[in-house]
Structure formats: structure tokens, C-alpha cells
Amino acid sequence: MNKNILFIFSCFAETINGLSRRVVSVWPIPLILPSPPVGEKVPAGRMRGYGDGQRTRFDLFYKAIFSLLLLALVKTGAQDTTKTTDGFSLPQPGHVFSFPRDHGSHDDFKIEWWYITGHLFGDGGRRFGFQATFFRSAGSATNPPGTGNPGFGHDQLFLAHMALLDVQSGTFLHQQRLNRDGWDAFSATNGLDVRNGNWSLRMTDTHRETMELRGSFGNGASLQLALEPRQPLVVFGQNSVSRKAAEPSAASYYLTFPRLHATGQVRQDTETNRVDGEAWMDHEISSSQLGTEQTGWDWCCLQFKDGREIMAYRMRRKDGSQDPYSTIAWVATNSVVTHLPSAEFKIETVRKWKSPVTGAVYPVSIRLQTRDPQAGRPVSFLLEPLADNQELSGNGGVAYWEGACRIRDDAGREIGSAFLELTGYAGDLEKSLR
């Protein structure tokens, strides 16, 4: 769905453009904010590698942008069924996708993201979980693309997140970046090719739809993966549109590769691990997603050993209830998608974890109860995190939890791998960003 704090990355066009011009005039460098590994102590108010003055300005910049992005995402309305009030396109029922073009950027939409998570296995029983997300947010629908300064563009903003969990040591690395169009970041419109600094995701063969992902971290760790579909692309939603709330504009085009074969290497300090595993990829195209009564969501993707997959998201409302536009979708081995309504699944908290950084309390272990459309009977799956501390603490933005998990059935057998995303638990979102 990602979702991946998508509520912080829908751009409030003209305000953001002006703010980005003023900030870059003060700090004409890319905004790259690494986070220390779990267990490493950093003095309060300091970020390793940055002075107090720099960190303060970075925090103010992130908080200002995140506040405006959140308000834009929640409050965007529709003049008609095709455009938002500020002129951006809205997903249309019956849309016919065309590839490889639709793997690329859709600049007539306000926000878009390419999201990959996965489980990797190396020599000696080593295991890793990883996440990589590339966001694009449009500046203004009234300015034709490319009208900004080619070396210092204002047409688009690009945010990216990267995270790596070493299960053996419990080390969790994460980093985020924010760059402007023409400042070491871009997204191609004719196919999949996105970059933020030296992080990149691109399609290497449009017929086989193979991809390459490259990422790195401030302490010398890096990953390089080749990705090849084991399941064809699927489209979530009804009639090409994935609805998230009662508001007609709260929707997206939701494209997914539910199972990718991942091979490559993970480098930590001077050690290089050859890895092999499986990944999940979402590509969502939208201009507004959250409803005004929603406070956050719990999203998960499950990959079972029997070759099937599940995607589910519970949109949480202010009164604590599950929004009727929450959904669960099964992907069969023949790639047929079966959607079930909100009433046919339930997420129960099994265990909570309190972040020592933000104080947020997350339901890091959950039980997903639903109906198996293939077997025609109720089923229950336990999601257990491979490590509790998989929180991306925000570096001045909004914290959320995104973690690698194992799946167990009612008999306690491990039957697959999953990723779980939890947002809206680090306090009142709008209040915390004012």
C-alpha cells in the first residue's frame, strides 16, 4: 500500500515550492539523514555527523514539510471525478494499464511511490530483512513539468527510505533522504528508473520485468539486489481503483509484484554476504488517500510457502474502529486476486513493544483472522517480528514501524514470511506536526 508514511508525502504545491527555495538557499546540499544502529548512543539533540545548528535546521525543514504534506493528503478534495481541487489527476475506474510505461512516473498525479521489502538468506544461516521506498511528490499542477531550473528544479520533491535488519546481531539500520528535482534525484516517465543520491531502482529488462536495487547506509553498509518476478504483476482494488476511504478522492492505482526472487549481496563494514531470498514490490499512484476520520493504518504482506500471498490493510478511524474501506486480498498461485471486504478479516494484537526513542507503543505481533477462499474455511495467522526494534524514528518527521516477520499457523509451524507496517502510533499525527 505504502503507505510508508504516505500521509507525510503528498505535496502542498506552492507552499512547498517556496519553502524548498528558501531552505536550499541556506543549505545548498542534499538532505541525507542517517540513523545510528540500534544500541548506539547519540547525545540528546545531536545526530551523528551533523552539528547542532545543522540538525536544528534539518528538523525544522522536515517538520514544516511533513506538516504541510499531511494536511494536503487529508484535506484534498475533488472538483469533479477526474481532478483534485488543485488540478491533479485522480484514479479512474476501468483504467487500462500500459507497460513498461506504467512502471514509471505519473507526473500528473500528486504522489507516487515504489516500495520493496524482503527477506534475504546468506552463508552460515545469516538472515536479513530490508525495505526500500522511493517517493515522488509533485510541486504544482499549474506549472508544466520541466519549467523549473534544470539544475535546481521545483517540479518534484523526492523522499526515500532505506532499512536493513541483521537478524543475527539484531542491528537495524535506517536512513532517509529528501531531494528536489534536478538535485541528485529523478524518476523517469517512460519506465521504471528512480534515483535518490546513490540509491536507485530500475528495470533492467522490460520483457522479463527484472529489476536492480542499490542502497547504502552512512556507516559503510550497503545492498545490491537483482529482482526477478516469480509471480506476474497484479492490480489490487476494484475495476482498477483501490479505495482507502469514503471520500472518492481517497484512492490509488495499486500495482504489485507479490513475489520476486532476490539475489545479490549485503555488505557490512568489510564483510560481504552473498544473499538469496524473496521480495514484495508495490507501486502506488495517487493524489489523495487518507479520509478525514482516519488516524493511521496497519498493513501487511504475507508470502506463504505454498506459493500464495496476502495483502491486507486496516484503516483505523478516530473512534478506534476499522474503516469499512479496509480490505484483504488473496493472490493465488495462478495470480488470480480474490478481494474480501472489511467484515471478513480481523487483526488482533498479540504483543506490544514500546520504542525507547519515541515512546510509541506498537502492536508488533498480530494475529490475522480471515477466510481462505481456496479452502472455504476460516484461517488464522500469527505474525512474529524477527526483531522488536524496527522503528523508523523519523529524524524530525513522523515515526512508524516497518518490520520483517515470520508467519505461523495455529499449530505453531512456520509457514512463510511477512512484512508489517504500523503508522499513527507515535501520538496524534496532526498535533505532533504543528
Over residues 88-119, the pLDDT tens digits come to 999 999 999 999 999 999 999 999 999 999 99
Q: Is residue 212 part of a domain?
A: yes
Question: Cβ distance 238 to 96 under 8 Å?
Answer: no
pTM to 2 decimals?
0.84
* Cis, peptide link before residue 91, omega less than 30° from 0: no
> At 145, phi and psi to the nearest 5?
-55, 140
The three cell numbers of residue 325 are 474501506
Q: Is residue 1 part of a domain?
A: no
Give strand ranges (E) for 244-324. 251-268, 271-288, 294-304, 309-317
Among 48-57, 177-186, 238-247, the range of highest mean pLDDT: 238-247
Q: H or E stretch including 432? A: helix 429-433
Q: What is the mean pLDDT of residues 188-217?
A: 97
C-alpha to C-alpha distance for 413 and 381, rounded to whole angstroms: 10
Q: Is residue 245 part of a domain?
A: yes
Q: Give 26-93 as a DSSP string.
A: H--S-EEEEEPPTT----TT-BTTB-HHHHHHHHHHHHHHHHHHHHHHHH--BSSSSBBTTS-B---T
- Residue 182 is predicted with a pLDDT of 78
- Residue 240 is predicted with a pLDDT of 96
Q: Is residue 257 part of a domain?
A: yes
> At 65, phi and psi to the nearest 5?
-65, -45
- Residue 141 is predicted with a pLDDT of 63
Q: Which amino acid is at 284?
A: E
Q: Which CATH number does the domain housing residue 239 bear?
A: 2.40.370.10
Is the pLDDT assigned to residue 226 strictly greater than 50? yes
Q: Convert the pLDDT of each residue in 353-374 to its tens digit.
A: 999 999 999 999 999 999 999 9
Is the pLDDT assigned to residue 21 strictly greater than 50? no
Q: For 394, left (φ over 0), alpha (ψ -120 to 50), or beta?
A: left
- Residue 289 is predicted with a pLDDT of 72
Percent of the chain with pLDDT over 90: 66
C-alpha to C-alpha distance for 91 and 13, rounded to whole angstroms: 19
C-alpha to C-alpha distance for 76 and 405, rounded to whole angstroms: 34
Closest CA to 243 of 234, 231, 251: 251
Q: Convert the pLDDT of each residue in 141-169 to its tens digit.
A: 655 544 444 444 457 899 999 999 999 99
Q: Convert the pLDDT of each residue in 255-293 to its tens digit.
A: 999 999 999 999 998 899 999 999 999 999 999 877 888
Domain residues for the domain of 23 are 6-433
Question: Cβ distance 89 to 82 under 8 Å?
Answer: yes
For residue 398, name the pLDDT band (cuts at 50, 70, 90). Answer: confident
Tell me how long the chain is: 434
The three cell numbers of residue 7 are 500521509
Q: What is the mean pLDDT of residues 27-31?
A: 38
The three cell numbers of residue 76 are 484534498
- Residue 292 is predicted with a pLDDT of 84
Number of Cβ within 10 Å of residue 248's Cβ equals 15
Strand partners, 261: 228, 278
- Residue 311 is predicted with a pLDDT of 98
Q: Is residue 197 part of a domain?
A: yes
Is the pLDDT assigned to residue 36 strictly greater than 50? no
Is the pLDDT assigned to residue 69 strictly greater than 60? no
The structural domain count of the chain equals 1
Q: What is the mean pLDDT of residues 217-246?
A: 94
Residue given cell 474455511 in the structure block: 377
End-to-end alpha carbon distance in the chain: 26
Number of Cβ within 10 Å of residue 189's Cβ equals 13
Distances (CA, A) of 329 to 20, 30, 310, 314, 336: 39, 39, 6, 12, 10
- Residue 219 is predicted with a pLDDT of 79
Percent of the chain with pLDDT over 70: 75
Position with higher pLDDT, 34 vs 394: 394
Q: Is residue 141 part of a domain?
A: yes
- Residue 427 is predicted with a pLDDT of 67
- Residue 385 is predicted with a pLDDT of 98
Q: Is residue 130 part of a domain?
A: yes
For residue 428, name the pLDDT band (cuts at 50, 70, 90). Answer: low
- Residue 249 is predicted with a pLDDT of 87
Q: What is the mean pLDDT of residues 316-327?
A: 93
**How confident is the prediction for the chain on average, in pLDDT?**
83
The b-or-e profile of 194-228 (16+ CB within 10 A means b, else e) is bbbbebbbbbeeeeebbbbbbbbbebebbbbbebb
Question: CA 253 from chain center: how many Å?
Answer: 15
Residue given cell 495462478 in the structure block: 334
- Residue 334 is predicted with a pLDDT of 96
The three cell numbers of residue 301 are 504482506
Question: Cβ distance 63 to 397 under 8 Å?
Answer: yes
Is the pLDDT assigned to residue 39 strictly greater than 90? no
Distances (CA, A) of 409 to 297, 329, 379: 24, 18, 8
For residue 407, name the pLDDT band (cuts at 50, 70, 90). Answer: very high
Q: What is the mean pLDDT of residues 164-181?
A: 94
Closest CA to 118 of 335, 402, 432: 402
